[in-house]
Amino acid sequence: MKTDGTKILVVDDEIGYRKVLNNALTERGFIVKTAASGEEALEELKKQEYPIVIVDMKLPGGIDGLELLQRVKGMYNSSVLIMTAYGGIETAVEAMRRGAFNYITKPFNLDEIILNIDRLVAQQKIIEENKYLHSELEKVYGLKKIVGSSREIQKVLDMVSRVAFSTATVLITGESGTGKELVARAIHFTGNRKDRKFVVINCATLSENLLESELFGHVKGAFTGAIKDKRGLFEEADGGTLFMDEIGDIPKSVQAKILRVLQEGEFISLGDTVTKKVDVRIIAATNQDLLQGVQEKEFRRK
């Protein structure tokens, strides 16, 4: 299963178990962090999000596995997989009643843990996509949202129908307030990406550094204030559509990085060295004359 670099926090006071899980999960593409106590785990969770937390029921200090489970489920949107010795199965079942995804007995079988984690990743992806689809369906976007019977409107509707199922990048031009985003949504929700995300960014409202961070994401420490890793909008829109409004206002340095995504389907987050691959359709809009911008060398031709 594709892990997408899912972050996992392993909480166990036994260093041997931590090392085994760290090595096995890292080899499968997961990003793994370990903690030796409940207190240490909570401190780590304050720093960044962990979609999956693996917790040993028996932990040193004032926070045991059951209490850590309750705190994690109460404060964070994480799924918890419990580890327990054979004699602690009754407690593990109680943990499941309180929200744990499943329990694994120690000494554990690595294949069983990986199987549970793969199920968790698949479950979380389905939940995320369903939430998104429900929110978008409520907005009822599509061709029916564009009202009009004039020849010009009919030309727009015909163009939307023709480009919706293509993979081509689309540029929508027109004055502010003429419904460019509405046309972009109609293209997305009519085409074969309609079940995936439609992500929007207004390029004119952000500074160069903020725009780059929003589009491509950053890693912790990439710049002052970057206290944890952040996914960019290209990652958020993977498999779907990114609508870039006011694309004519994008600085040249960012234009070059967007061109790389268009040509190669890849980018590097701020402060990182790892190249990431995405499948994103870009629909852009502007009220500017981009051909004039190219002639004046304010907008890249290629």
**Average pLDDT for 43-68:** 92
Average pLDDT over residues 169-192: 88
Closest by alpha carbon to 284, among 237, 248, 240?
A: 248
Percent of the chain at pLDDT above 70? 89
CATH architecture of the region 7-130: 3-Layer(aba) Sandwich (3.40)
195: left (phi over 0), alpha (psi -120 to 50) or beta: alpha
Token pair of 30 as six digits: 């997961």
Could you tell me if 269 and 214 are in contact, meaning their C-beta atoms sit under 8 angstroms apart?
no
By CB atoms closer than 10 A (0-12, 13-18, 19+), residue 226 is middle
Instruction: Give the integer Cα–Cα distance in Å for 142 and 115.
Output: 39
- In this prediction, residues 58-67 reach a mean pLDDT of 91
Dist CA 164 CA 184 (whole Å): 9
pLDDT at 254: 92
Q: Where are the domains of the chain?
A: 7-130, 140-295
| pLDDT 10s digits, 77-96 | 889 999 988 667 788 788 88
What is the distance between the alpha carbons of residues 234 and 245, in angstroms, rounded to a whole number? 14
pLDDT for 289: 86
Q: Are domains 7-130 and 140-295 of this chain identical in fold?
A: yes
| Helix residue spans in the chain (DSSP H) | 15-27, 38-47, 65-75, 89-97, 110-139, 151-163, 180-190, 208-216, 233-236, 252-264, 290-295
Whether the pTM exceeds 0.95: the reply is: no
Cα torsion at 55, 58, 60, 62 (round to 10°)?
90
Tell me what pLDDT residue 131 has.
65
CATH tag for 140-295 (out of 3.40.50.300, 1.10.101.10, 3.10.450.230, 3.30.365.10): 3.40.50.300
